[in-house]
Homo-oligomer: A and B are copies of this chain.
Amino acid sequence: MDLDLIRQLALPNDTKIVLTVIDGLGGLPHPSRGRSELEAADTPNLDRLAADSLCGLTIPVALGVTPGSGPGHLALFGYDALKYTVGRGVLESLGIDFDLQPKDVAARGNFCTLDADGKIVDRRAGRIPTDESAKICKELAKIELPSVDLFVEPVRDHRFVVVLRAKGRRKLSPDIRDTDPQKEGVAPFQAEASATGGKATATLINTFIAEAREVINNRTSANGLTLRGFAQKPDFPAMPDVFNMRTAAIAMYPMYRGLAKLVGMTVLDGGESFLDEVETLKRRWNDFDFFFVHYKPADAAGEDGDFNAKVAALEAFDRSVADLRAVGADVLMIAGDHSTPTAMAAHSWHPVPFSLFSPNATPDGTNNLDERSCLRGSLGTFHATEVMPLAMAHAARFAKYGA
């Protein structure tokens, strides 16, 4: 649904909506054992919640399309992920909790290893450890560029972020092509403008690259760098405006906190564990109308291809479900931003189990929160962007459309 229509329909009310996102929730049957992670997990509380809920499967972006974390979450927040896009440089900055300003230009960097001719022999510089990357970043951040503040921040292993912040009247442009050729055996590209407005910034980036090469030239590995995904912080409509609600995010990981900030949520303390998150939810219950609560371990186990670890992560979540229910939301949803089947050890395009509990909803007879059961749920297979409209309806926060 278009955000303008949501804005037009959104009414104030005293009701509370909780959107719990289990990252990478969906899975696939174990190749030999035949049951999916959710089917294999012992999750009596999730199953009881499903039995009290409406169930279905969400399509994060489109059938066949595997989303990254950005599009997967934006869709659940009601934002069409094909329209509201976030550049790589911005996402990486969010992921390290960098306080990106509206006019900054950010890029994702890789340290790489170059041969004597300047050609890339290892795109990831042997995945050098993060603390080594951090030391190099510290040196590179000392480089001075005219009328610009430079930030170079380590991410993990060979990955880092470069941010340019204009001083005075200088204006920066994100219209710059990747310098990363995405293959070995060739030299990194020079930064080039992808639109006429990008020329001055491209020159600055090339100055940075040249000076950086001087600094790391004598290293045996990580003696070069590539940059990609030049981007500025997008100016998205804010959830409080669009949905007419006070919105809060409870998440431990910077990436998800950052995504929530991009859509105007207030970011609350996620603490050290999901138990802390639920405590925060209780403590701040009266201050907000909508809460996005994020649970990461299922995705991490899925990416590792560890079936038993994903089962354990789901079972660990299950032990918090009673507490989540006890808070007393008018609409309590369990959703996933995408599937992360351990059989693929990666994000996937598969539709994701979803449940919506509300005193206003008649349970649909789905007795388990898993892929096959939710397929038979009353919500069917639907687009993740419809999750928030469904929540608004069940929270009696949508006006009638038309007379």
In the assembly, what is the distance between CA of A392 and CA of B62, in Å?
A: 12
User: Which B residues lie within 8 Å of A393 (CB)?
Assistant: 63-66, 349
Chain B residue with the shortest CB-CB distance to A89: B403
| Inter-chain contact B64/A401, CB cutoff 8 Å | no
| Inter-chain contact A349/B398, CB cutoff 8 Å | yes
| Inter-chain contact B400/A67, CB cutoff 8 Å | yes
Cross-chain contact of A401 among B65, B386, B400 (Cβ < 8 A): B65
Stretch at the interface among A144-152, A186-194, A291-299, A373-381: A373-381
User: Which B residues lie within 8 Å of A372 (CB)?
Assistant: 364, 378
Say yes or no: A229-B403 contact (C-beta < 8 A), given A28-B362, A66-B393.
yes
Render A13-51 as a binary contact track against B, CB cut-off 8 A, 1 for contact. 000000000000000110000000000000000000000
Determine whether A389 belongs to the interface, using a CB cutoff of 8 Å to chain B.
yes
| Inter-chain contact B402/A68, CB cutoff 8 Å | yes
Determine whether A382 belongs to the interface, using a CB cutoff of 8 Å to chain B.
yes
Q: Tell me how far the C-beta of A327 lies from the nearest C-beta in chain B, rounded to whole angstroms.
A: 23
In the assembly, what is the distance between CA of A29 and CA of B365, in Å?
A: 13
Say yes or no: A386-B28 contact (C-beta < 8 A), given A71-B402, A229-B403.
no
Q: What are 14 inter-chain pairs, A to B, with CB distance below 8 A?
A: A1-B62, A1-B63, A1-B64, A5-B62, A5-B82, A29-B362, A61-B401, A62-B386, A63-B386, A64-B386, A64-B389, A64-B391, A64-B393, A86-B403
Residues on A facing B (Cβ under 8 Å)? 1-2, 5, 9, 28-29, 61-71, 81-82, 85-86, 88, 91-92, 229, 347, 349, 362, 364, 372, 375, 378, 380-382, 386, 389-393, 398-403
